[in-house]
Structure 1
């Protein structure tokens, strides 16, 4: 395994772990702040939008390369 392959795998593994951790943080924030259904939906919607932008960026990088 060369350095480029290691960096690619590390980005996906660490990025996936970070996304899972962010879901836990948002869930805990919604629970502690008593955001309700709509507030929790908005919080997770924004997090989902950020993840979607990351995935779209990766698709564009692979398409344009």
Structure 2
């Protein structure tokens, strides 16, 4: 497709696509905290609980970058 092979399309989707999705999810969590008037501690707990799964994806990218270097 457009001169790209399957590996390049998958790399693009996994890096930029999932990263954009993570940023959008952080925006949604921030909106949830803002609309519920959670306060500082409540906002921290929301981000900790709901965004903790994203840490694994980010850590995977950092570990791959370190190993390839």
Q: Which runs of 5+ in 2 are unaligned?
A: none
* Displacement after TM superposition at 1:57 (Å): 4.7
Query: Is 2:10 the counterpart of 1:7?
Result: yes
Of 17, 21, 24 in structure 2, the residue corresponding to residue 21 of structure 1 is: 24
Q: Which runs of 5+ in 1 are unaligned?
A: none
Q: How many residues end up aligned between the 2 structures?
A: 61
- CA deviation map 1:8-65 (0-9, x unaligned): 1112111011011011101100010111111100111121x211122345548xx7xx
So what's the TM-score if we normalise by structure 2?
Answer: 0.71
